[in-house]
């Protein structure tokens, strides 16, 4: 895959997205597929209620475009086991996100699928991914010295936890106008460029589709947002990132590339742990995930998004450096 081809794919998909997003927003509004706000959330978020959600559905078009380009433009004769595993993994997460958004609309409450059901679906998706991808994804993680850090079942256990955790980390980051789209752009850009230099099959094409999506989505999702991506988009983006990390062999580097998202997830884990172990008396943050903590401190949404973008960029630079060391 050449740089010209990758750039052209991003440009074409982004322009198509920009043209079609207004139509999708109108359809979501007419279908009453709109955002509901938690009562315990920041008061400033009350004005967001009624904003169309489910904008992540546009990723279906981008993923389809990437698959089409992969098969026909690049002259592939068929899909490999790793390609099929990638499609299954991303599709299950996207559909589960859409189901969660849809149930919220049906119940007219800001709680869709129960947490345990979400985790079960994500675990099944990850399990299918690693099963279908074998032996393309070798169950081993080597040190630079040549020794094994993880291998066999230990690798799969850690890989499953990481896959489910990172997908949820993307989902947790999607809490402010433009936050997930803007902070994930550097990570997907580096993943896309890396895939141009070292092809990783279809999993290497999808970060380019994600770049096109987040660029066009930001046009409509910047403060004040005209549409939200919903769990449909956040879970799909997280699964694209995870699939690329394992397909390209950049599992360790992806920890840094996705450092900001993991930080968001860790802030929730810390908050829940301290709250429960203290008998529901103590909290570390004013509100979790941590971007809401800064909201409570009085930071405006644009300031939080911009500063988190800077932090994400620094993480991505560090991750990119580790990729050059491999």
Q: Where are the domains of the chain?
A: 3-255
Q: What secondary structure does DSSP assign to 200-222, as a single string?
A: BTHHHHHHHHHHHHHHHHHHHHS
Q: What is the pLDDT of residue 40?
A: 58
Look up the pTM and report it: 0.93
Q: What is the pLDDT of residue 323?
A: 86
Q: Phi, psi (5° rounding) for residue 24?
A: -65, -40
Q: What is the pLDDT of residue 147?
A: 60
Q: What is the pLDDT of residue 77?
A: 73
End-to-end Cα distance, the chain: 21
Q: What is the pLDDT of residue 269?
A: 94
Low-confidence ranges of the chain (pLDDT < 70): 1, 37-47, 73-76, 109-110, 142-149, 325-326
Structural tokens at position 270: 């810390």
Angle 87-91-95 from CA coordinates, rounded to 5°: 175
SS3 state of residue 31: coil
Q: What is the pLDDT of residue 148?
A: 63
Question: Which runs of E-coded beta strand occur in the chain?
Answer: 140-142, 148-151
Q: What is the pLDDT of residue 1?
A: 65
- 239, 125 Cβ separation under 8 angstroms: yes
Residue labelled with tokens 């850690």:
158
- How many Cα atoms occupy the beta-carbon half-sphere of 44 within 13 Å? 14
- 224, 50 Cβ separation under 8 angstroms: no
Largest Cα–Cα separation, the chain? 61
Q: What is the pLDDT of residue 239?
A: 98
Structural tokens at position 208: 């380019």
CB atoms near residue 270 (< 10 Å): 15
Q: What is the pLDDT of residue 37?
A: 67
- Bridge partners, residue 141, by sequence: 150
Q: What is the pLDDT of residue 142?
A: 66
Q: What is the pLDDT of residue 43?
A: 62
């Amino acid at each position: 895959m050449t740089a010209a081809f990758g750039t052209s794919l991003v440009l074409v998909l982004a322009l198509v997205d920009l043209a079609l997003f207004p139509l999708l927003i109108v359809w979501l509004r007419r279908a009453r597929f709109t955002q509901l706000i938690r009562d315990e959330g920041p008061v400033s978020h009350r004005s967001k209620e009624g904003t169309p959600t489910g904008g992540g559905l546009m990723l279906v078009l981008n993923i389809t475009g990437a698959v089409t380009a992969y098969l026909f433009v690049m002259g592939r004769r068929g899909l490999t086991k790793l390609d099929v595993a990638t499609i299954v993994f991303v599709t299950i997460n996207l559909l589960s996100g859409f189901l969660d958004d849809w149930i919220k609309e049906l119940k007219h409450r800001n709680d869709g699928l129960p947490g345990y059901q979400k985790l079960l679906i994500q675990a099944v998706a990850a399990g299918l991914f690693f099963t279908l991808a074998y032996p393309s994804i070798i169950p081993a993680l080597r040190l630079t010295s040549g020794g094994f850090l993880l291998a066999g079942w230990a690798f799969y256990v850690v890989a499953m936890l990481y896959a489910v955790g990172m997908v949820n980390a993307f989902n947790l980051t999607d809490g402010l106008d433009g936050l997930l789209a803007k902070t994930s752009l550097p990570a997907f850009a580096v993943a896309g460029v890396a895939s141009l230099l070292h092809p990783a099959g279809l999993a290497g094409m999808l970060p380019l589709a994600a770049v096109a999506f987040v660029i066009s989505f930001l046009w409509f999702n910047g403060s004040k947002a005209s549409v939200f991506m919903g769990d449909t988009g956040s879970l799909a983006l997280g699964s694209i990132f995870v699939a690329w990390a394992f397909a390209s062999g950049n599992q360790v580097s992806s920890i840094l590339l996705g450092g900001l998202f993991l930080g968001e997830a860790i802030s929730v884990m810390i908050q829940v742990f301290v709250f429960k172990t203290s008998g529901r008396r103590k909290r570390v943050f004013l509100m979790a995930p941590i971007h809401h903590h800064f909201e409570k401190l009085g930071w405006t949404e644009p300031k939080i998004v911009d500063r988190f973008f800077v932090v994400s960029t620094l993480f991505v630079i560090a991750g990119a450096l580790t990729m050059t060391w491999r």
